[in-house]
Amino acid sequence: MFKHVLVTGGAGFIGSHMVDLLLERGYKVRVFDNLEPQVHGQIDAPPAYLSSEAEFVRGDVLDRDAFARALKGIDAVIHDAAMVGVGQSQYQITRYTDVNVTGTANLFDIIVNEKTSVERVLVASSMSIYGEGCYRRTNGEVVAPVVRPAAQMEAHDFEMRDPDTGQVMEPVGTPETKPLYCTSIYALNKKDQEEYTLVTGRIHGLPTVACRFFNVYGPRQSLSNPYTGAAAIFMSRIKNGNAPLLYEDGKQMRDFICVRDIVEAKLFLLENPKANHEPYNICTGKPTSITELSMTLAKLYGQPDLKPNIVGQFRAGDIRHCYGDGSRLTALGWMHRIGLEDGLRDLVKWSEGVEAVDMVEKAHRELAERGLVKG
């Protein structure tokens, strides 16, 4: 049984919920976080929602000495610290790769080469590493296509089509065994983080686990960061009376999972030795369209007539459909429990008392100016 857990990025959205659950279950917790301004704004102290029962250490994963000090006396590490955002990663390549990949390399270099007491590491991975999800052809065969042809996208034909027959294929749940095909720098970073974690764990006999998050939403998600998750981005628009901005035709499907389910799954994996040296989807296994998500949020916020602005353009690196197959984690004994509307209701209730600066149109212009929005 681990006693002292370090949560990197523990002042952030997912990390702070992880801290709460660990404290609730009797763990001693230390947080290592640099209070990234894009997430937190300009602050000099931890956000008010971070429990005072956790020890807070301000520092950066790129500062090896500070990281080493933060690991002193730690039994287990939950490594959540990362730069997040597919679109921004496409041009802030060095920044994303430094924080996400080099930061993870620092973690394992310290564990391997210095005297630490770390016995287990969980890393936050992402469904983005799959690229497109899995699809079923009309003959029943399940395939893993790569990308949609540029000419098809330019013609505003967005569905994934069978390259042999031209027929639209049906999306199905994506398991951990699907070949990975990264379509963004962020995805490539997460793939590298995951592989550093699993390879180092196997080589050095250190129990490690990769947690492949699908689309996480919930309270404490930044409502002023236009590169965060879809639910928070939509809420920043809705709170300001603006229609959510949707790319393609708004029918693309994702797997939205509540942050409470995410942290409970992570604690389950932390405490389960059968999970060693494997990646696990943390998902609901239920697809939801982007349009449905935006309209549900508008309804719950009391603005049911606020319809999304479906622009018909597409972003470089975007995929069509991807939702999870959670059977590997289910086989170990864990299943999600929070339904989408119930979880979104919690997000909306929390958002009512939170300032939201709508930066979506600015982010859209930045991507367009760099040639990353097309059509």
Integer CA distances (angstroms), 202 to 7, 151, 180, in order? 22, 43, 20
Listed in sequence order, the residues at least 6 apart from 136 whose beta carbon sits closer than 8 Å to its beta carbon are 142, 143, 169, 170, 171, 172
Strand ranges (E), the chain: 4-8, 28-33, 55-58, 76-79, 120-126, 134-136, 142-143, 170-172, 208-213, 215-217, 245-246, 253-254, 256-258, 278-282, 288-289, 309-310, 314-315, 373-374
What is the Cα gyration radius of the chain? 20
Angle at 98 between CA 96 and CA 100, to 5 degrees: 65
| Cβ-contact 277, 208 below 8 angstroms | yes
Residue type for position 59 = G
Concerning whether 135 is annotated as a catalytic residue, the answer is no
The closest alpha carbon to 178, from 216, 215, 146, belongs to 146
Catalytic residue among 96, 135, 186, 217: 186
C-beta neighbour count of 259 within 10 angstroms: 24
| Cβ-contact 347, 231 below 8 angstroms | yes
Beta bridge partners of 123: 79, 210
Tell me which residues are annotated as active site.
186
